[in-house]
Structure 1
Amino acid sequence: MHVSSGGVRGAKKSGRKPGFDADDVVAAALAEGIDTFTMSAVADRIGVVTGAIYRLFPSRDDLVVACLDTAAATLRLPGRDDDWASVLQLWADECWRVCEDFPGLSRLLYALPTAFTRIQHVLAAYSAAIERSGRSTAQAMFALDFLGDTVIASHMGIVAMRVVDADGATGWDRVRDALADGALMQPDDSWAERGTVDVKVGFIIKGLERDWPAL
């Protein structure tokens, strides 16, 4: 076998793979889906072996937490002079936006009991803004929880309406086909979009304008 100064003839060139860091891993996991990614799929997306991912994140749970923190970092905070109704509207808008921006998040938030612990600083900022309007901490947290649950649960249902099956039919299509003409509930475009969510949010805020629970 002839060995030249460049190495074994015909052998693959050796060398370091392109570098990657924790941010690259998080981005790959988010691209795979925050609720469904696997460590091997993340590694494949980056172009490294799975073991390399574990050197940065010892477990999948650690990577999930990093993904949640990345999503939480995008949440807008209320202004100091915002009234409580504007604060709650912003919270509802941000809950919707973050679920849209990070596919699978709404599902993960219900599947992972500790998910909300990653936004304690965000909840504290929103609660403080509502308390400046004369509400108690318990009342502020009730309103934030009520609206957050409403928006996130609604988003999860809307995602199911958008999913396309192997035949090219969406969840909305399947529901429409399953309901007979004249059924009490008839699907419309709002079932796959935000329209009904805004109605629910407005209803809750209007209700709080009339009465807050004594907490």
Structure 2
Amino acid sequence: MGVGKKTGPKPSFNREDVVDAALAIGVDTFTLAQVAKRIGVVTSAVYRRFDSRDDLLDACLARAASSIAVPAPGASWQEVCRLWADECWQVCENFPGLARAVYSYAPAFTHVGQVAGAYAAALESHGYTRGQAGFALDFLGDTVFACRLGVESMRATDGSGESGLSRAKARVGKEVLDHPFQPDETWADRGATDVKVEFIIDGLGRHWPEM
């Protein structure tokens, strides 16, 4: 009987383990090879659970969407809008790389259909149409996600450990002293996001376009 290398039992993993690994790496940057390495299997093993990277990305986006809170019964339309904006921000905090993934993957929005429907229904209860609700949610969501992308660029560090915010401050202070946009610490946090959200809500108090 020949002596061979003992391989032991094959690692056991399920779909949720794969999703966990992809999210830990970054929903916008993970590769199947990286995911496989993280859970201790060969890349081909991941294909037993997911057909492709897009298939896994869909599962990650579904996980993120399921974490979004929905409005409480009786909430005012303003409260519904503010909660949607807050949840859009929070889901990006909880799932790094989500904002970038959403903008680079065309079907991403389909995963938020159920939760967005709950928000639309809450707005419809105040007399707005489905088209008006869709416009408000889309406008607020786009605004928050775009702000989030800017914040992430300010938080990111280069090889020397310098943040984007530090580089922005140095560039503006050195080259454009009277620049209308002066970077400060809020640029690496929510910054003007809440001001923009309130501006949108104030505008909706006057007019609700149809989407």
| Aligned counterparts of 1:115 and 1:80: Cα–Cα separation in 2 | 27
Structure-to-structure mapping, 1:15-164, within 5 angstroms: 15-164=8-157
Match of 1:207 among 184, 199, 203: 203
Question: Which segment drifts farther, 198-207 or 62-71?
Answer: 198-207
Q: Give a deviation string over 1:40-97, Cα, whole Å, max 9, x none.
A: 0000000000000011101111000000001011011112211111111110000000
Percent identity (aligned): 53
Aligned length: 208
- Three-state SS of the structure 2 residue aligned to 1:56 is coil
Deviation at 1:183, TM superposition (A): 2.6
Q: Report whether the alignment pairs 1:189 with 2:189.
A: no
TM-score, normalisation: structure 1: 0.92
Counterparts in 2 of 1:153 and 1:65: CA distance versus 1, 3 Å: same
- Three-state SS of the structure 2 residue aligned to 1:205 is helix
List 4+ stretches of structure 1 deviating above 4 A.
none
Q: Which amino acid aligns with 1:13?
A: K
2:163 corresponding residue in structure 1: 170
Q: Give a deviation string over 1:181-208, Cα, whole Å, max 9, x none.
A: 3332211111110131111111111221
Q: Give a deviation string over 1:141-164, Cα, whole Å, max 9, x none.
A: 000000000000110111001100
Contact 2:135–2:210 under 8 Å retained in 1: no
Q: Which amino acid aligns with 1:132?
A: S
Q: Give a deviation string over 1:157-178, Cα, whole Å, max 9, x none.
A: 1100110001111111111111
- Three-state SS of the structure 1 residue aligned to 2:41 is coil
Query: In terms of Rg, which structure is larger?
Result: 1
Q: Which runs of 5+ in 1 are unaligned?
A: none
| Aligned counterparts of 1:28 and 1:120: Cα–Cα separation in 2 | 25
Query: What's the C-alpha RMSD, in Å, of the aligned pairs?
Result: 1.4
| Aligned counterparts of 2:25 and 2:7: Cα–Cα separation in 1 | 29
| Aligned counterparts of 1:113 and 1:151: Cα–Cα separation in 2 | 18
- Three-state SS of the structure 1 residue aligned to 2:86 is helix
| Aligned counterparts of 1:163 and 1:119: Cα–Cα separation in 2 | 27
Q: Give a deviation string over 1:102-155, Cα, whole Å, max 9, x none.
A: 111000111111100111111111100000001111111000000000000110
